[in-house]
Amino acid sequence: MELLKNKPKIIKLLTLVFLISLGNVFCQNSNNKIIFLNDYYSAYANPIENDITNQDNRYKEKIQNAIINKYFLKSEYSDIVNDFLSSPIQNTTELKKAIERVNDNKKTIERKITSALKKSAKYLKNDSLTIYILPTNPDNKVIMEGMMGIMGLTAGSKQILLTIEPEILGWEEMVEYAVAHEYNHTYWTNKNFGKSSKWTLLDYLIFEGRGDSFAHLLYPKVMAPWTSALNQKDKDALWNRIKPKLQSEDIPFQMEVMFGSSNYPFSGGYTIGYDIVQQALKNTRLSAERWANLSSDKLLKMSGYE
């Protein structure tokens, strides 16, 4: 009788336990975080009265050092993040507007990132990621237009930085693509960082080629300009120039090849890297998890690049 009398309470308790268990199943990969860094930029862009001198020092204190010390001291690529944040922002008036645009689009940004993380996790497992959102440096407006409003940077196996400019057409699609691209980098870093003391031009080419190939797998309709920056003739010309130097560990040289300079075409390295990985995967049925962990030498060999 006592059992029957308490039946409604028992049913409620069992239901609660069931829902908690169900929640644990469905939310086991939802422990990712999205952190907007706008407050750091606002603190720099809104100095107290008469505090308009030493702008470069204020930038370093309020943004570069503050963000690095808070979030990235233990990141695998902390030096790269430090370099990325090292350029002071001069135009604080436009910076304030950039901050507002990010704030106005917070819900859309969060929704797009969450969706891209879930989609990426179906192919590669790497949980507990943190995505940091930065406003655009107004001085980089032209660069951001070429990147369709999004600039991504992997800080390590569990951290991604995204600079977002919602004013640029196409940013909503590109933010999902960028998350998938950087997600691939975090996965590779989690599995492979530290296995080799060398970082060659070939490694860099394949690293970015993997990222774009993974993002394109998930979002085939999104066209990333940097993956098709060269026609076939120019690809051949660039490949013939860099092929003898694939084992180069000279970082400035690698950056020239990847991003372009007065000596190398814009985004040439990204185009070549993407093409190598695409050619390597053309006639294979390997899963994303398998090919994401293949070495640079192996993918180059599979590609048939000569």
> Of 212, 216, 215, 227, whose CA–CA distance to 266 is shortest?
227
Strand, helix or coil for residue 28: coil
Quick: pLDDT tens for 13-43: 443 333 333 333 333 345 899 999 999 999 9
Is the sign of the CA dihedral 109, 111, 113, 116 positive or negative?
negative
Domain locations along the chain: 33-192, 201-303
Say yes or no to pLDDT of 253 above 60: yes
What is this structure's pTM?
0.88
Residue 276 CB partners (closer than 8 Å, separation 6+): 205, 206, 209, 299, 300, 303, 305
- List beta partners, residue 34: 131
Q: Which of 21-30, 87-96, 108-117, 144-153 has the lowest mean pLDDT?
A: 21-30
Please provide residue 207's backbone torsions phi and psi, each rounded to the nearest 5 degrees: -55, -50
Give residue-wise pLDDT tens across range 164-182: 999 999 999 999 999 999 9
